[in-house]
Amino acid sequence: MTRTSRSALACAALALTAALAVTAAPADAAAPMSDSASAGAQKVSVPAYFAPGATWDRLNGGAGTVGLAVANPSSGPGGGDAQYTTAIKAAHAAGVTVIGYVRTGYFGSTGITTTSGSTDPAEWMRQIKAEVDVWYRLYGTAGLGGIFFDEGQADCGPSNTHVNRYTELRDYVESRYGASAVVVDNPGTGAAQCYSAAADTLVTFEGSAASYRTFQPQAWEAGAAADKIWHLVYDSPDETSLRETMALSRKRNAGHVYVTPDTLANNPWDSLPPESYWNTELTLARSTG
């Protein structure tokens, strides 16, 4: 496709936020932790579900503080787009690690089907690996830096069945495309500790600023490397709310964070915040206090 449509971006946002609606905190996870953990300087890592152009340029301007950017042409890699090739090259050159969006559909456990209409975990595995390969075929030479696996499961599963699938995906990416490839899993909620070895980074919160105030991370996250944890927070309407949310994310040991005033109804990932808000967010992330 030559340009990402708003409808495609909206579908992508719904896919990303589906974790909140269908995935509960894992029953085998540890008890919630207190707000005693604390990340140092953070990375602002962004679901960059917007078309190449001025917004990507503004994202690149935050390089050094911007860590990861999730590219998402069409709820996945699409068929190739020269504008995305240019955008990924520019981000890579600026020092932003761009990772490609791939749905995992909870491996069919919630009834989500593959493009062929199957809920079979084996069919999901084949589709996911094929999309990883498409991402690298289209954008590997542009500097693609890894894969973002959305719609992730959060419980280990019987005999670790669930987590083993995500470990297999991490091994697949790293064995084919290099050990330096960044692998992110997004359950969007607290994941069991078994997942700490299944990805470089886990999105353990995705939701509104109001829900973030009462959110309790899993206990194991307090002892994890901060780079392991990523929190995505939308509907944080002003800079007062932004400051509160960023402070909470630091206390909760989130080495990666993204906060936006955008709301779920308007697709929170299809733009960057206004300039003043964005600059404040970058400044707060860089602070070690």
Between CA 146 and CA 132 the distance in angstroms is 9
pLDDT of res. 16: 46
Q: State the pTM of this model.
A: 0.89
Q: How is the chain split into domains, by residue range?
A: 6-286
pLDDT of res. 37: 55
Cα–Cα distances (Å) from 61 to 40, 65, 231, 282, in that order, read 22, 9, 21, 10
**Cβ atoms 190, 153 nearer than 8 A:** no
Bridge partners, 149 (sequence order): 102, 185
Q: C-alpha 161: how far from its chain's center?
A: 23
Between CA 236 and CA 286 the distance in angstroms is 19
pLDDT of res. 38: 62
pLDDT tens digits along 90-102:
999 999 999 999 9
pLDDT of res. 40: 72
pLDDT tens digits along 19-37:
443 444 454 444 444 444 5
Torsion sign, CA atoms 221, 21, 45, 83: positive
Quote the CATH superfamily of domain 6-286.
Phosphoenolpyruvate-binding domains (3.20.20.60)
Residue located via tokens 């392991």: 228
Between CA 104 and CA 185 the distance in angstroms is 9
Tokens matching residue 175: 């064995």
Q: What does the buried/exposed string (b/e) look like for 108-130 if buried means 16 or more CB atoms within 10 Å of the residue's CB?
A: bbeebebeeeebebebbbebbbe
Between CA 216 and CA 231 the distance in angstroms is 12
The CB density around residue 247, as the number of other CB atoms within 10 Å, is: 13
pLDDT of res. 236: 98
Q: Assign 3-class secondary structure to 54-122.
A: HHHHHHHCCECCEEEEEECCCCCCCCCCHHHHHHHHHHHHHCCEEEEEEECHHHHCCCCCCCCCCCCHH
pLDDT tens digits along 212-246:
999 999 999 999 999 999 999 999 999 999 999 99
Strands 201-208 and 256-259: unpaired
pLDDT of res. 289: 62
pLDDT of res. 13: 44
The whole-number mean pLDDT for each consecutive block of 10 residues of the chain, a chain of 289 residues, reads 36 44 43 53 97 97 97 96 98 98 97 98 98 98 98 97 98 98 97 97 98 97 97 98 98 98 95 98 89
**Cβ atoms 28, 214 nearer than 8 A:** no
**Distance separating the N- and C-terminal Cα atoms of the chain:** 44
Tokens matching residue 172: 């697949």
